[in-house]
Structure 1
């Protein structure tokens, strides 16, 4: 969101320097929602129950070993963390559009919650890697 600065020539737009960061996280989260999540749903919710994958393809041991590894860390980052920032950005701009609350406070709450949940999710993966 832009802030208005008033000078002798009238209102002037002041550039928000953090907006490109939030828009890039929004975009990356949207791509993960659109590309990676449907593939995960296809394999876990459709192919596996229908028996289209081998029986041991997603056994507990195999899934646990995959999740608690570096690729699992990247997977959780892509499937959980980036969509959290996507949702936070949508909520923040939605609240701004309907004039609810202060934009600075909404920004801190939305992105803070996304960051906190991301740290929690990635922390759980790291804790599983260290076991």
Structure 2
């Protein structure tokens, strides 16, 4: 029998942040690590292109600021959603308190990323 009065759920919000974070982490984080962590130190990309003035210009530009915030926040939402559901899979039932703790940590890191950008502007 189909329930015509289903209970409202907040899971679509968390699953969308989980999906966005997983996609960001899988697609863009490896490229960022490759460029900043390997190609610049190995000299493939000139270090002058990553000097302080250019980096500050990138971070204070709207698209650069959004990139930094997304690079911090989205993988954190993904990770904490995994932690929340992983605890359930391990039979560690923390209930609403665990859910609030996991998503509060993600929200805190998002806020830290936003504050970081605001302080640089």
TM-score calculated relative to the size of structure 2? 0.88
- State the SS of the aligned residue for 2:48: coil
Instruction: Kindly indicate whether structure 1 or structure 2 has the higher relative contact order, using CA contacts under 8 Å at least 6 residues apart.
Output: 2
- Larger helix share, 1 or 2: 2
State how 1:1-131 maps to structure 2 within 5 Å. 15=7, 17-129=9-121
Larger CA Rg, structure 1 vs 2: 1
CA RMSD in angstroms comes to: 1.4
The worse-fitting range, judged by mean Cα deviation, of 36-45 and 46-55 is 46-55
Measured after TM superposition, the shift of residue 103 of structure 1 is 1.9
Q: Is the 8 A contact 2:29 2:71 kept in 1?
A: yes
Measured after TM superposition, the shift of residue 101 of structure 1 is 4.0
Give, in whole Å, the separation in 2 of the partners of 1:62 and 1:38.
21
Measured after TM superposition, the shift of residue 90 of structure 1 is 0.3
Seen in structure 2, the aligned counterparts of structure 1 residues 108 and 128 have a Cα distance that, compared at 3 Å, is same
Measured after TM superposition, the shift of residue 16 of structure 1 is 5.1
TM-score calculated relative to the size of structure 1? 0.82
Q: After superposition, what is the alpha-carbon deviation per residue over 1:61-83, rounded to whole angstroms, capped at 9, x for unaligned?
A: 11122112211221122211011
Q: Is the 8 A contact 1:92 1:103 kept in 2?
A: no
User: Structure 2: any 5+ residue segments left out of the alignment?
Assistant: 1-5
